[in-house]
Amino acid sequence: SELSYARYGKDNVRLYKVHRHEDGSQSVVEMTVRILLEGDIETSYTEADNSVVVATDTQKQTIYILAKQNPVTPPELFASILGNHFIDTYSHIHAAHVNIIQHKWTRMTVDGRPHPHSFFRDGQEKRLVEAITRRGQGTSIRSGISELLVLKSTGSAFYGFHRDEYTRLPEVWDRILSTEVECGWHWKNLSSIAEVRSVVPQFDQAWEKSRNIILETFAKDESASVQNTMYKMSDQILAAVSLVDKVDFALPNKHYFEVDLSWHKGIKNTGRDAEVYAPQTDPNGLIQCTVSRK
């Protein structure tokens, strides 16, 4: 036998950091971090040679130390700081894969004003970062959004699709559209931590612009299909963020089925008369794309 793939580290490292501001208000960040390392680590698998193992606990301790010593936002910066630390500290480690999931803590509005230190979890939406730092090659970053659940009650159609003897789905000109957005935008390779730092102002801007483009396009587009709407989102994100070279989407089509009630006293609840629907947990459509800059 031979080892064809080896990557190890600590997953699900939960991290919270508070910032205490001059004016007495406080800000909080909560994230879940995954580190996976690659390098000259084969002998730890093949020969029980633990001398090459930077223990996963060491990796966890390192996350907390670097979180104390450095900013943890934007998450793209913190992921790059972590990745570069492992490359710079351990000569036998050649690549560090750092994934960060940032959770939502939205500041409460109390008595009409932002509360100085109280927050709530307004949804399961996550902000994502996947950063790969390779020795001598800089850092490749995919930023993203996941679990952003959206629904529109009209403004979506699906007709003109291929029909044959296997096709039962009726064409529809007015349907509910719901999906849980998983989207990523890939930054051009950043050659050093210095270049990452020079891009720092653009990470939050890109997240804000991408999120707004997704929500506004979802709402405004007279959608002919999930495929076409997600392409329009991707095209706009590429136009809005110059340092991004490709955008990917994976959108489940979360179906809502009409409930035919005509058996009960002839109730009309289909087509234009449909008001009561049965939301479907599964199966769901799944539409994926990657759109690249020409």
218 binds ligand AZA (CB under 6 A): no
* DSSP line for 174-187: S--EEEEEEEEEEE
Among 62, 84, 225, 236, contact with ligand AZA (rule: CB under 6 A): 225
Cα(95)–Cα(261) distance, integer angstroms: 59
Q: Token pair for residue 293?
A: 């800059």
Select from 146, 202, 253, 284 the one that contacts ligand AZA (CB under 6 A).
253
Give bridge partners of residue 253 from the DSSP assignment.
Answer: 285
CA distance 105 to 113: 16
Nearer residue to ligand AZA within complex by CB, 279 or 285: 285
**10 is an active site residue:** yes
CB of 169 to ligand AZA, least distance (A): 6
Closest alpha carbon to 252 in 162, 142, 111, 149: 149
* Integer Cα distance of 176 and 238 in angstroms: 28
**43 is known as an active-site residue:** no
Within 48-183, residue ranges assigned H as helices are 56-69, 75-89
How far is the C-alpha of 204 from the C-alpha of 185, rounded, in Å?
13
- 226 belongs to the binding site for ligand AZA (CB under 6 A): yes
Nearer to ligand AZA, 119 or 231 (CB): 231
In this structure, the chain runs to a length of: 294
Rule CB under 6 A: is residue 285 a binding residue for ligand AZA? yes
> Min. distance of Cβ 285 from ligand AZA in angstroms?
5
Please report whether residue 230 would count as binding ligand AZA according to CB under 6 A.
no
For position 158 contacting ligand AZA by CB under 6 A, the verdict is yes
284 near ligand AZA, judged by CB under 6 A: no
**Under the rule (CB under 6 A), what is the footprint of ligand AZA?**
158, 169, 225-227, 253, 285, 287
List the catalytic residues. 10, 56, 255
